[in-house]
Amino acid sequence: MKDTVVLARSKEGNRELQALLGERGISTVAVETIRFAEPLDWSSVDSAIRGIREFDWLAFTSPRAARAFGERLKRLGVAVGQRTPRVAAVGPGTATALKSLGLKVDFVPRDYLTSALGEGIPAELGRKVLLLRADIGDRGLMSVLEGRGFDVTDLAVYRTQTVPGQADSGPLT
């Protein structure tokens, strides 16, 4: 009897993982347990984007955050150019998403963890960071950066929601 793996992620995440597992002959059942939504209020993000050149670093904790940032840039009609701050990505998937926006990625930690991102961003290249992440993202990254003397603006560019009837309807933490 063939084993089946139950995937409990976002619709997009399930699709990606189903494809990878399917290539290896693994049967899957996908259940959408979370989905992503825009922030309820974009005003802080929009203000930061309009003043983007005030930052030394843009730090991204996921490919989804990078894509949400890119979509917001388009909606505001803000072009990324040569004067964009340096860019830090938590890992290669995030770096790829940022490069697809035309951004040069200046730092990716050796270990693809938010703690490694916070510990590794070169302070000598500037200390003002715009951190773009999920609403439920680990706030430890901000603490690590602030502990190293960085001035951090921490903004959620997307929200994570449970799917009613598929997952516990309580808040995600």
Paired with 100 in beta bridges are none
- Report the pLDDT value the prediction gives residue 9, as an integer from 0 to 100: 83
- Report the pLDDT value the prediction gives residue 169, as an integer from 0 to 100: 41
* Pairing verdict, β 151-162 and 34-37: antiparallel
| Alpha carbon distance 158, 51 (integer Å) | 20
**Residue 54 clears pLDDT 70, i.e. is over it:** yes
Q: What is the mean pLDDT of the chain?
A: 89
Angle, to 10 degrees, between the axis of helix 43-50 and the axis of helix 63-76? 80
109-131 tens-digit pLDDT: 999 998 899 999 999 988 999 99
What percentage of the chain reaches a pLDDT higher than 90? 62
HSE-up of residue 128 (Cα within 13 Å, Cβ side): 8
Mean pLDDT of 157-167: 81
For residue 158, which phi and psi values (nearest 5 degrees)? -160, 160
132-159 tens-digit pLDDT: 999 988 788 999 999 999 999 999 999 9
- Report the pLDDT value the prediction gives residue 165, as an integer from 0 to 100: 66
| Alpha carbon distance 34, 24 (integer Å) | 25
Mean pLDDT of 89-96: 96
Coil, helix or strand for 122? coil
| Alpha carbon distance 65, 132 (integer Å) | 6
**Residue 170 clears pLDDT 90, i.e. is over it:** no
Chain length of the chain = 173
| Alpha carbon distance 35, 39 (integer Å) | 13
